[in-house]
Amino acid sequence: MPIVTNLDVMMAKRKVSLKELADRIGISNTNLSLLKTGKVQGVRYRTLDAICKELDCQPGDILEYRSDE
Amino acid sequence: MTVVWTKRFVNVLLVLVAIAALVAVLRAGGAISEGKFHMVSYPASSENIRMEPLGGMAAWWQMQEGTVRVDDHAWLRAARLVGQLVGLALLAGIFWQLRGLFVCIGEGAVFNDANISSLRRIGKLLVAASVLSISITFMTQYAILEAIPAMDDRAIHPSISWNQKGVENIWMEYSPPIIPMLLALITFVTASAFQSGKRFQDDSESVV
């Protein structure tokens, strides 16, 4: 999959733990962990909105397209 | 219906199938002990309805349906018995698969691999039962036709045939298993629908 999640980078920049962010955006630790490791098929706009709001960033800071070639 | 009652209901159906198998074997045993196992009877109907008056009343004895019988065909009787037992085993297999399917659905697990496999197996069993029914019938009718000598005034036909003019036409009866074949088709379509449902479920479950 050429879409890479850089959530861990943004979390490190904002010095936010996984549990803390999960609590703030209202999803489970497990789901946030899956999102962080890129093991999901999709992200809801609602989740993306909450993450961007909490980490004060843009969707492009979290998701990145890297070509397979 | 709850899971427990569904299980009980299908268990009762399985017991009925077992009883039917037992009855078939006992009948065969009875025929062997009476020395009648070599006889094979098959339902048949005539186009010429013979009417015999009953006494002086306005009542008639109508002869249209009956059986044709051949003797010295123990192998055919045995083959039909085996076919019947195999058919009952297939029916038991269908009920067993239905049991698992109903229990899974009753527990809330609808779109999963086990249910899809169960539906496909039910479809295959229904197709097998239909093929078995057609094969046994074809074999029986062919054997009876081979055994009955040609007659001048009477012609015995297999189920699919044309009548002859100037003779009494007797057809051997058979209803093709159209409903089991339709059910098999519906089962395969349902299995595909379950497969799509599973795909949708997987997609929606992996979105956060």
All structural domains of chain A, each given as residue ranges with its CATH number in brackets, are 3-65 (1.10.260.40)
Residue from B105, B120, B130, B131 nearest B10 by CA = B105
Q: Which chain B residues have any C-beta within 8 angstroms of a chain A C-beta?
A: 202-203, 206-208
How many domains, chain B? 1
Below-70 pLDDT ranges, chain B? 1, 48-50, 55-57
* DSSP assignments along B96-147, one per residue: HHHHHHHHHHHTT--SSHHHHHHHHHHHHHHHHHHHHHHHHHHHHHHHHHHH
Q: What is the pLDDT at residue B56?
A: 66
Asked whether B104 and B85 are in contact (CB, 8 A), the reply is no
Contact A47 B208 (CB under 8 A): yes
Q: What is the DSSP string of B19-72?
A: HHHHHHHHHHHHHHHTT-TT-EEEEEEEEEEEEEE-TTSS-EEEEEEEEEEESS
**pLDDT value for B152:** 76
Q: Is A40 on the interface with B (CB under 8 A)?
A: yes
Model confidence pTM above 0.80: no
Contacts of A34 in chain B (CB under 8 A): 206, 208
- A45-55 helix and A18-25 helix, angle to the nearest 10 degrees: 120
Token duo for residue B166: 């100037």
Kindly list the residues from chain B whose CB atom is less than 8 angstroms away from the CB atom of residue A42: 203, 206-208
Distance (Å, whole) CA B178 – CA B184: 10
Q: Give the pLDDT of residue A41.
A: 83
Measured between beta carbons, the chain A residues lying within 8 angstroms of B206 are: 34, 40-42
Is B125:B93 a contact under the CB 8 Å cutoff? yes
- Do A32 and A18 contact (CB within 8 A), yes or no? yes
Predicted local distance difference test score (pLDDT) of residue B73: 92
On chain B, the residues whose CB falls within 8 A of the CB of A47 are 208
Structural domain including B141 reads: 2-207
Res B22: pLDDT: 97
